[in-house]
Amino acid sequence: MTQQNRPQRTPKNFLKTAKIIHLALAMGCLAISAYFYSNTDMNFTDELNLKDPMIYILPVIGAIAFFASSVLYRNLIDKAKTQPSLLSKLNGFLSANIVRYAIIEGATLINIIWFSTTGTPLYITVAGTLLIYLFWLRPTKDKIIEDLALRGQDKAKFEAFDQDL
């Protein structure tokens, strides 16, 4: 691709790309959840089967995914902050977000699949909670500025939304 045909690497295009990646992962997870929810017979009972170890394991997996994704995200963002160029920082931000989304999505899918095999509402509840969190993580201009601690020239370049990086 020649220099003339290359799409501009602007903050606006970067944010659009980050939002598309987030939306694709979140909507894919939502679609799978909706499919399994509509095709699974719910097993509403007064009591959970307390002898089933999965009623303990899967909610813990959800909690671990929540905390692990935050810790890994923070570590990757800290590395991205030390990059010399704004473009490198933004690429690090995107990578950190993809890792974060993948961990949350994995725990969500595990709970959805287990729900589809048992019909126990606990698993779809955990999956729904993680899915809400995943949607809440949507990247915005302000989150990027805050998380990467953009200051001075980097912040000015990023806020010049249509200027090439």
Helices (H) and strands (E) in the chain, counts: 6, 0
- The pLDDT score that the predictor gives to residue 2 is 54
The candidate with the shortest Cα–Cα distance to 139, out of 6, 23, 1, is 23
Tokens 């915005």 belong to residue: 140
- The pLDDT score that the predictor gives to residue 6 is 64
CA distance 100 to 69: 5
56-93 per-position pLDDT tens digit: 999 999 999 999 999 999 999 999 999 999 999 999 99
Least confident of 8-12, 46-50, 70-74: 46-50
The candidate with the shortest Cα–Cα distance to 134, out of 12, 28, 35, is 28
- Tell me, yes or no, if the pTM score tops 0.75: yes
